[in-house]
Amino acid sequence: MPELKFAILGAGFWSQFQLAGWREAGGADCVAVCDRIRAKAEALAQRFGVPRVYDDPVKLLENEELDFIDIITSVETHSPLVHLAAERGLNVVCQKPMGVSLSEAERMVQTCHDAGAKLLINENWRWQHPLRQFKRQLDSGRIGQPFRARIHYANSFPVFDNQPFLKNLEQFILTDIGSHILDTARFLFGDAHNLYCQIHRIHPDIKGEDVATVMMNMGENITVTCEMSYASRTEIERFPETYVYVEGSAGFLELGPDYWIRETTVQGTLAKRYPPPRYPWADPAYDLIHASIVPCQTDLLKDLKGEGVAETNGDDNLKTCRLYFGAYESAARDTVLHFD
Longest Cα–Cα distance of the chain, Å, equals 64
pTM over 0.75: yes
Q: What is the model's pLDDT at position 49?
A: 97
Sheet holding 119-121, edge to edge: 52-54, 28-34, 4-9, 68-71, 91-94, 119-121
Domain formed by 126-283+319-338, architecture: 2-Layer Sandwich (3.30)
H helices of 206-340, in order, are 287-304, 314-333
* 4-121 placed in CATH 3.40.50.720: yes
Q: Which of 144, 126, 315, 152 is nearest to 237 (CA)?
A: 152
Q: What is the model's pLDDT at position 163?
A: 83
Say which range, 120-124, 155-159, 242-246, 333-337, has the weakest mean pLDDT.
155-159
pLDDT at 1 over 80: no
Q: What is the model's pLDDT at position 285?
A: 86
pLDDT at 80 over 90: yes
Q: Which pLDDT tens digit goes with each residue over 18-35?
A: 999 999 999 999 999 999
Q: What is the model's pLDDT at position 165?
A: 87
User: How far lies 253's CA from each of 70, 124, 186, 318, 333, in Å?
Assistant: 36, 23, 17, 29, 34
Query: What residues does each domain of the chain span?
Result: 4-121, 126-283+319-338
Distance CA 10, CA 203 (A): 28
Label residue 197 by pLDDT band (50, 70, 90): very high
Label residue 231 by pLDDT band (50, 70, 90): very high
Distance CA 60, CA 5 (A): 13
Which amino acid, residue 148? R
Q: Which pLDDT tens digit goes with each residue over 84-115?
A: 999 999 999 999 999 999 999 999 999 999 99
- 4: which DSSP letter? E
Distance CA 162, CA 132 (A): 28
